Chain A
């Protein structure tokens, strides 16, 4: 109460109605209800997930225990049979390369919107870019499936146009997975990057140009360094989403899509299909915990790398 009185007395601060009396019921409700809901349906399930990894299944029943069996069994299969290590490697490779490509595709798009289109058109162009986001992701993937299929729209269209020698065979490879993911991520990345690039002071770019910098130099020395944060945020966002996504890998990658690492499923797809076939929830929980762990390591490594580059650049 003392704290709230003090802040209420500050000029410009939002005054507290009834400060000095009992705590406002609005305050109790406003903080209490969301907190309660979050504790029951968010914190509790996550805490339980950690616990569940140590439980066991006996006679198709989940039984409470404190056993490392799930983790030990997974460790045994890291390099044999299920080959989790390879799946994790595949996931890392696909998600990191997707993040890189997605930013590489979206950044020039945003530069073109910001620097080539008149300001009055920006809103329309952004709306158009975000439009796919409002349609269903699963159905968009189905659409990509019929586009990319071996006798699908793209290949039959190429043949129809007399280009039989140009046929793409992308479906059920991790390249198709990447296409699906990039299409899903692009609207979000474009918005994040637009906010970054649109906020770069144009006078700085003009100053660089007036001082004799070429367009390339102005980009390299002014625009790119000032987009750094946006590029990092959008790349890590893309990496997290791709790493946890199951749909693109299942529908376009066909479960075990081919990549330079071979025809190996993504780790996320493995978790999903293992649960579908076994419904062994404790084991699935243990696998999910491993996914969380790998993701945290990936982010930490990314953050460390970004930090080092910052020092190098400075």
Chain B
């Protein structure tokens, strides 16, 4: 801070601001990690009703999770739905982002608004609307219904990340390819796609996370083919079961992995303005 260099006329009272601010920050971070820390710690705790002091350590809830199978099957369903939805969202997101980047066309603004709109409408509304239409055409109550509807809501985040990456591509790159005689498709395949790949991967992870965590749309359209959040919800409403902590810890483990992925892929894109294309 600049005030460190110059003599600060109010340095004395400034110290208290600093102490108060740091304290506040610490409390804030404590609030943010509290439920996650709770989940991990109490997934290894014996008692059915979590309390302090603890009642000893155990792996029984993980064991129960694997013998019971309901939540595990829901996890499997989610691991089918979310990657496919993320892939669909990335394909649409890439196409739209590329079209917006490459071409000028009438209704360009309306086109991007239309694609971003699904994330601005409450998912509760979308859930009712999706079920309404899908049940008319006999597509409700399957994993496919969840995939089709999740694609709608994950396209926007995927597209946003891909657009960021495309915006970092120097125009000269494509021009050079055309000058050297590459066709449209060759340019796309050999120049644009490799350059955009980190953006696509980052967008995919973001889309996956959105879909993996989505509850209410899946609740409406999935029927008996529950995804993980829907099954977890049914479980919580029914009983208090520390197996949920075990699921939570596994899911958090998964998300730490994707977090590392995001750290490696997404943040460099968000934070760098113009990377050279040589990498």
Report the interface size class on chain B.
35 or more
Bound-state Cα–Cα, A62 to B140, Å: 15
Bound-state Cα–Cα, A203 to B209, Å: 39
* Interface 0/1 of B105-142, CB less than 8 Å to A: 11000010011011011111110111111111000000
B103 touches A16 (CB 8 A): yes
List of B residues within 8 angstroms of A56 by Cβ: none
B38 touches A112 (CB 8 A): no
List of A residues within 8 angstroms of B151 by Cβ: 37, 41
Bound-state Cα–Cα, A260 to B247, Å: 36
A46: interface (CB < 8 Å): yes
A44 touches B32 (CB 8 A): no
Given known contacts A26-B98, A139-B248, A45 and B130 CB-to-CB distance under 8 angstroms: yes
Give, as a whole number of angstroms, the nearest-CB distance from A291 to chain B.
Answer: 7
B258 touches A14 (CB 8 A): no
B232 touches A138 (CB 8 A): yes
B180: interface (CB < 8 Å): no
* Interface 0/1 of B85-102, CB less than 8 Å to A: 000000011011011011
B103 touches A288 (CB 8 A): no
A142 touches B13 (CB 8 A): no
A105: interface (CB < 8 Å): yes
Q: Looking across the interface, which residue of chain B has its beta carbon closest to that of A129?
A: B32
* Interface 0/1 of A261-274, CB less than 8 Å to B: 00000001001100
A132: interface (CB < 8 Å): yes
List of B residues within 8 angstroms of A16 by Cβ: 102-103
B251 touches A139 (CB 8 A): yes
A131 touches B259 (CB 8 A): yes
Q: Looking across the interface, which residue of chain B has its beta carbon closest to that of A219?
A: B17
Bound-state Cα–Cα, A30 to B174, Å: 17
A26 touches B128 (CB 8 A): no
A285: interface (CB < 8 Å): yes
* Interface 0/1 of A15-36, CB less than 8 Å to B: 1111000001111011101110
* Interface 0/1 of A180-216, CB less than 8 Å to B: 0001001100000000000000110010011000110
A166: interface (CB < 8 Å): no
B129 touches A45 (CB 8 A): yes
A143: interface (CB < 8 Å): yes
Given known contacts A132-B36, A142-B244, A215 and B51 CB-to-CB distance under 8 angstroms: no
Residue from the list A3, A34, A44 in contact with B95, Cβ < 8 A = A34
Bound-state Cα–Cα, A29 to B111, Å: 14
B236 touches A45 (CB 8 A): no
Give, as a whole number of angstroms, the nearest-CB distance from B59 to chain A.
Answer: 19
A143 touches B248 (CB 8 A): yes
List of B residues within 8 angstroms of A60 by Cβ: none
| Most central of B35, B99, B102, B258 by chain A CB within 10 Å | B35
Give, as a whole number of angstroms, the nearest-CB distance from B218 to chain A.
Answer: 11
A175: interface (CB < 8 Å): no
List of B residues within 8 angstroms of A151 by Cβ: 49, 51
Q: Looking across the interface, which residue of chain B has its beta carbon closest to that of A43?
A: B114
A111 touches B21 (CB 8 A): yes
List of B residues within 8 angstroms of A275 by Cβ: 128, 220
Q: Which of B62-70, B183-191, B196-204 contacts A (4 or more CB under 8 A)?
A: B183-191
Q: Which of A72-80, A152-160, A305-313 contacts B (4 or more CB under 8 A)?
A: A152-160
Given known contacts A17-B178, A45-B126, A37 and B247 CB-to-CB distance under 8 angstroms: no
Q: Which of A131-171 contact B (CB under 8 A)?
A: 131-132, 134-147, 149, 151-153, 156-157, 160
B215 touches A138 (CB 8 A): yes
A229: interface (CB < 8 Å): no
A29 touches B248 (CB 8 A): no
A281 touches B258 (CB 8 A): no
Bound-state Cα–Cα, A62 to B135, Å: 10
A108 touches B24 (CB 8 A): yes
Q: Which of A40-91 contact B (CB under 8 A)?
A: 41-46, 48-49, 52, 62
Given known contacts A136-B228, A156-B51, A52 and B35 CB-to-CB distance under 8 angstroms: no
Give, as a whole number of angstroms, the nearest-CB distance from A3 to chain B.
Answer: 6
Excluding A139-B244, A244-B123, 17 further A-B contacts by CB distance (< 8 Å) are A14-B101, A17-B184, A27-B105, A30-B95, A30-B103, A41-B149, A45-B126, A45-B132, A116-B22, A129-B29, A135-B252, A146-B245, A149-B49, A215-B13, A244-B122, A250-B237, A281-B131
Q: Footprint of A on B, CB under 8 Å?
A: 1-3, 6, 10, 13-14, 17-18, 21-22, 24-25, 28-29, 31-36, 38-39, 42, 49-53, 92-93, 95-96, 98-99, 101-106, 111, 114-115, 117-118, 120-126, 128-136, 148-149, 151-152, 155, 171, 174-175, 178, 183-185, 187-188, 209, 212-213, 215-216, 219-220, 228-229, 232-233, 236-237, 240, 244-245, 247-248, 251-252, 255-256, 258-259, 262-263, 267, 271
Across the A-B interface, give the 5 residue pairs with the lowest CB-CB distance, nearest first: A244-B122, A30-B99, A143-B35, A156-B51, A139-B248
Can you offer 7 A-B residue contacts whose CB atoms are under 8 A? A24-B184, A27-B99, A41-B149, A117-B25, A136-B248, A156-B52, A215-B17
